[in-house]
Structure 1
Amino acid sequence: MAVFEKIIPRKVFLDDTQVLTCIFENAQNIQGHTEYIIRVQRGPLPEKTWHIYKRYNDFVSLHNLLQISGLNFPLPPKKLIGNMEREFIAERQTGLQNYLNLILMNPILASSLPVKKFLDPENYATPFQELALQHVSMILRSEVNYEVIKPVPEIGWRLRKHYFLVKSRVNPKEEMLLSWVEHGPDKYLEDRDLHGVFKSISGLQHPYIQGIEFLNCNEVGGFVVRGLNNAGSLRDLLCTAKPKLQFMKKYGNPKQYKPLSPSDMACFGRQILEVLRFLSEKGLPFGHLHTGNIMLENGEVKLLDIENGVLGLPSYYRPYFVQHKKIQTLEAVDVYCFGHVLYEMAFGHPLHESVCDIFPSSCPPVLKSVLESILSTEACKGGLPTIAALLTHPFFNSTELAYSHHLTNPSQSDRPHLKFSSHVKEALKVARQKIEIRLKDEQKMVRHQKRLVRVQELLSNEEEKKKRKQKQKEQLQKQHQQLVSNGKSPERSESPNSTSTATSAGTVTPPSGNCLIEFSPPPPPPVPSAPSPLQSVPSAAPERTALLGSICNFNKATLRRTAATASASNLNQGCILP
């Protein structure tokens, strides 16, 4: 490196696909109003957090903006009297937390501008459409062939992508669609190399890629001019939606889903795979396949947005495949996105999960095998098939491509064509590697965060067990104190063996042999607090009671001395005579 060479730092653009999570931490009283303190986090790293302060009216405004989607999530109701009570504030805080959780679980609402602006006002309060119009007008100032007519509503899901109707001065009656988008976080091409890529893309030819009329870029973003397709995208067809309506209104809560037939799925899927293989062979990074950028013309697929990869835009399904460490290459990303597209074509509605292990019984077995090889948990853990392997699958290989005569008998105009210079090829190769490195790094962060969450759950479970044991111990101590305070000692509680113990204590078993026993005088009277042996055997028979009484009242003075007794005393010297 030269001594005086200036190092230009790469600008890091915000990744709008990173998931936002929020947790209500507290509530405070500000000038007679309740203000909720919410902690918001972007992505897996806890360092990317900030706090927002919202009142209930802010949630009402957000709720009104989201009504265009047709989804009605339960917002806690208003309360005029008693809305400052502590119990009510806690109850409302729980309801608002559940309300935001439901919104963030819906991919369409979570990616909308009202939700992003509500949770991250610092980064999303910019008037994006006005800035886009300024950049487009500035670039087209040197172009005499195109003129902007009017902006189009947000028909796409990207917040930083805006659409305008333009017309060509050569053919004023023909309307075309211009799409402008800012650079994304995966832009690793220098501006000079990006211009070279755009120049090559302008001459691209492929039967299943929609033609490009004009494209250009600057240091902020790029735009592409294409012909206007009034039929809409494949997603419009599946949701039976009008193409020019706003994104949330079209796809938030469609009234009807219209899945494709297996034959159409096999045909369109084969055509999409041919495009993916073509882009992969040419070294052009893609990874942006979804039903919103697939058009249908005369029974053929026309793929859009092939320039998204070099512009550095994040993928629509990135929040899903970033959870699986086996999806680390751009080819694997394309295959995973193709699995989601195939699922949506089969069942009409998108898959809002990263994996799927259970499919409807109506799914044909051959189609089910394709979906399982891409979307099942086992496939995402073990590895996805390649594009070439999918092209040889019976579901696609055994289908006659009735609409794909371009591949079997291509003419000069239909022959696929895309050529890059050697310098641009090397730059694209480096860019692909950097895109994959960023993906791997983010996957490591996601796995690390999941491990931390599992450890915290284990620790919380251990703490719960300790709390339960401590609570049981405190309850036992409390019961013991209550027994002591009531005059009942646990040590002196009656046991089932108390009767037998008392009986054995009041019964004398005579020894074996002929020794005369010197009976000791009767024991002193018992302490009044302790029961006597006779009283402790209330159930003894009358004869037994009389025998015990005679033993206790025995008087040795009434015994007579006999000769047998004297001789016995000589033999048994250990015995004591009366």
Structure 2
Amino acid sequence: MFNLYQSISRKEEAEKEPQTTGHDRFCTHQERLPRSYYRRRKSTMTRRAKSASELNTPPAGSAKLALRKKRSSSTDEEDGTGLSKTGIVSISGERTPLLANRLDSLAKLFSCVALSPSVTNSSQGHGGRYEYTALEADSNVHERLELERKARERAQNACQHYLRSCPRYTLLYHLNDIGSRVDKHWFVVRDTSMKTERLLTLVPLSPNCAIECNPSTRGTILELFLALQHPYIYPVLDLDFRDVSGQTFVVLVLPFNNKGSLKDLIYKSRWQEDWRQKYGQRSAGLPVSQVQRLGRQILEALLFLKDRGFPPCSHLHSGNIILQNGVARLTGLENTLLGHTSRIHPVIWSRARTEPPAVDSICFGHVLFEMCAGYELCTPQPSQGHLLDIRNYPQVVEVLEFIFQHPERRFPSVEELLLCDFFRNIDLREMRATPLPVIAII
């Protein structure tokens, strides 16, 4: 009986699974292998390295075939520029969004243009073209800022030099670069005789100026500007020439207006901000009634200058139209006499070269377009795409076609523009309230 019990217990122990297996990392009950096994394993692990000739390399044809397969799989969705259609770079058939993001950031840094080929509405409004602006190096930025600081210091010294000899005005503060002319500076001064603020501008004399800078010339120019009294002409109160450190400056005193220009109204900007920051984004157009009224006032001012024998005003743009009590008043007339050219002069003159007297009509067409489109017209004349941007102003489109696509292949005069239906039947209260001076300018 005892022997039977031992045989049964040995059979159960044989059939029972061990508590530890050979896959357990810290098993202490594993069966030790014979030493011959370790000798054979050691001999197989210490083989010598194969030489280059012994390596089993695939033939050149199969390697090229494999490379061609990889390249074809990675460029199936590329557009020929190394980028996939989705804007994600693919390398060896695998898309790597992280690398795509880095390349996108670099592209934005060096060209300010996203990698996406989609066109925004603003680019369509500007003719459907991308604008590439290269970023300046740090050294160039510091150098430019240093030059601007020194230029402001020289301008302020010249202004104080003028005010010391003219005690009528006292300096209040130096304005930002509110205009596009890089060498022009604006100051707010106080007129002690009238107890009011004035705007003083200071600009170096242009080498193209054909007027001699002497006291007699100054008196003649002042008489001319005092004779140009009109509700839609911004007056010039004082003018002088000053030599400071071997450089001649032109000093102009104008009425101070805190409403800004027509350009500030179009872009809904603050007039005292820097010019480079005010007009960067496209704006909505003005109401058609306001475009109609302001356009008529501008034409009346141009007609007045033409009747007085003033040369064509090639400086007509939205930045030289001051708004005062809702009335448009032309300024910058002195630039024509002093030999300055406007920022848009190359664009305008490329169209008016064959017909110089028509420069006023061309400039007026550009101002009229900007009031409706909310951005400047950077081409000599509007294209069909530009006219589509102002399709909500059908009467303005007719006027622009009359200016730039005249049936007689010429430009209309200011008188002809005033006869357009769009500018007729406008109540000009300022013309009735202010009698015009009858002065013949020869």
Superposition TM-score, scaled by structure 1 size? 0.48
Give the drift of 1:203: 4.7
Aligned to 1:102, the other structure's residue is in SS state: coil
1:163 to 186, 207, 220: 186
1:214 is aligned, of 220, 235, 238, to 238
8 A Cα contact 1:260 1:346, kept in partner: yes
Contact 1:165/1:178 (8 A) holds in 2: yes
Aligned-residue offset at 1:328: 4.1
Aligned position for 1:102? 132
Q: Does 1:253 align with 2:281?
A: yes
Match of 2:209 among 171, 187, 193: 187
8 Å CA contact 1:284–1:309 kept in 2: the answer is no
Q: CA deviation at 1:320?
A: 0.5
Within the candidate set 71, 76, 86, 2:110 is matched to 76
Q: Alignment partner of 2:415: what SS?
A: helix
Distance 1:380 1:178 in 2: 45
Residue aligned with 2:181, SS? coil
8 Å CA contact 1:185–1:314 kept in 2: the answer is no
Counterpart of 1:246, as a letter, is D
Q: 1:557-576 counterparts in 2 under 5 A?
A: none
Q: Deviations over 1:140-179 (max 9, x none)?
A: 322121011221010100011110110122355x322111
Written as runs of structure 1 = structure 2, the 5 A alignment for 1:337-356 is: 337-356=363-382
| Aligned match for 2:304, one of 274, 278, 289 | 278
Q: Are the equivalent residues in 2 in contact too, given 1:273–1:391 (CA < 8 A)?
A: yes
CA contact (8 A) 1:198 1:216 kept: no
Contact 2:242/2:251 (8 A) holds in 1: no
Return the alpha-carbon distance in structure 2 between the equivalents of residues 282 and 185 of structure 1: 27
Measure, in 2, the Cα distance between the counterparts of 1:380 and 1:305: 32
Match of 1:415 in 2: 436
Contact 1:206/1:417, CA 8 A, preserved across alignment:
no
Q: Who is 2:49 aligned against? A: none
TM-score calculated relative to the size of structure 2: 0.61
Judge which range, 245-254 or 145-154, deviates more: 245-254
1:380 to 1:307, Cα distance in 2 relative to 1, 3 A? farther
1:269 and 1:342 in contact (8 A); partners too: yes
8 A Cα contact 2:284 2:372, kept in partner: no
Q: Which stretch of structure 1 is more off in the superposition, 149-158 or 278-287?
A: 278-287
Aligned residue number for residue 160 of structure 2: 137
Deviations 1:258-306 (A, max 9, x none): 3222222121111111111211222333211111121222332122222
- The answer (yes or no) to whether the contact 1:202–1:214 under 8 Å persists in 2 is no
| Offset, 1:125 | 7.5
Answer with 1 or 2: which has the greater Rg.
Answer: 1
What amino acid is aligned across from residue 415 of structure 1 in structure 2?
L
2:200 maps to 1:178: yes
2:228 pairs with 1:204: yes
Whether the aligned pair in 1 keeps the contact of 2:199 and 2:253 (CA below 8 Å) is yes
SS of match in other structure, 2:159: helix
Q: Is residue 235 from structure 1 mapped to residue 263 from structure 2 by the alignment?
A: yes
**Corresponding residue number in structure 2 for 1:495:** none
Query: Partner letter of residue 128 of structure 1?
Result: A
Match of 1:441 in 2: none
Query: Structure 1 residues 320, 367: closer, same or farther in 2, change over 3 A?
Result: same
Q: Return the alpha-carbon distance in structure 1 between the equivalents of residues 408 and 176 of structure 2.
A: 40
Using a 3 Å threshold, how does the CA distance of structure 1 residues 141 and 205 change in structure 2: closer, same or farther?
Answer: same
The answer for unaligned runs of 5 or more in structure 1 is 1-71, 78-99, 426-578
TM-superposition CA deviations, 1:21-62 (whole Å, max 9, x none): xxxxxxxxxxxxxxxxxxxxxxxxxxxxxxxxxxxxxxxxxx
Opposite residue 228 of structure 2, the aligned amino acid is L
CA RMSD in angstroms, aligned pairs only: 3.4
Query: Matched residue of 1:333: which SS?
Result: helix
What is the CA–CA distance in structure 2 between the aligned matches of 1:168 and 1:73, rounded to whole Å?
A: 53
1:366 aligns with 2:391: no
Q: Deviations for 1:500-526, whole angstroms, at most 9, x for unmatched residues?
A: xxxxxxxxxxxxxxxxxxxxxxxxxxx
* Displacement after TM superposition at 1:327 (Å): 4.6
The answer as to whether partners of 2:200 and 2:254 remain within 8 angstroms in 1 is: yes
Q: Hey, what does 1:401 align to over in structure 2?
A: 426
Note if contact 2:352-2:359 (Cα within 8 Å) is conserved in structure 1. no
Rounded to whole Å, the distance in 2 between the matches of 1:268 and 1:125 is 36
Which digits, 9 at most, give the CA deviation of each residue in 1:417-468, with x for residues without a partner?
A: 6654xxxx4xxxxxxxxxxxxxxxxxxxxxxxxxxxxxxxxxxxxxxxxxxx
**Residue-by-residue CA offset, 1:225-255 (whole Å, 9 max, x unaligned):** 222222211111111111111111111235x
Distance apart, 1:405 and its partner CA? 2.5
Q: 2 CA distance for matches of 1:334 and 1:73?
A: 42
* Matched pairs, number: 305
SS of equivalent residue, structure 1 residue 323: helix
Percent of residue pairs identical: 30
Task: Give, as a single letter, the amino acid of the residue that structure 2 aligns with 1:390.
Answer: L
Indicate the residue corresponding to 2:288 in structure 1: 262
Cα distance, 1:199 vs structure 2: 3.1
Deviation at 1:310, TM superposition (A): 0.8
Closer, same or farther: CA 369–327 of 1 in aligned 2, 3 Å? farther
Distance 2:157 2:275 in 1: 23
Distance in 1 of aligned mates of 2:305 and 2:372: 25
Q: Secondary structure at the match of 2:259?
A: coil
SS in 1 for 2:108: coil
5+ unaligned residues in a row in structure 2: which ranges? 1-105, 112-129
Counterpart AA for 1:136: C
1:153 to 163, 172, 176: 176
State the shift of 1:194 in Å: 3.9
Structure 2 vs 1, CA of residues 417 and 148 (structure 1 numbering), >3 Å: closer, same or farther? Answer: farther
Runs of 4+ in 1 over 6 A off after TM superposition: none
Q: Is the alpha carbon distance of 1:353 and 1:309 closer, same or farther for their aligned partners in structure 2, counting shifts above 3 Å?
A: same
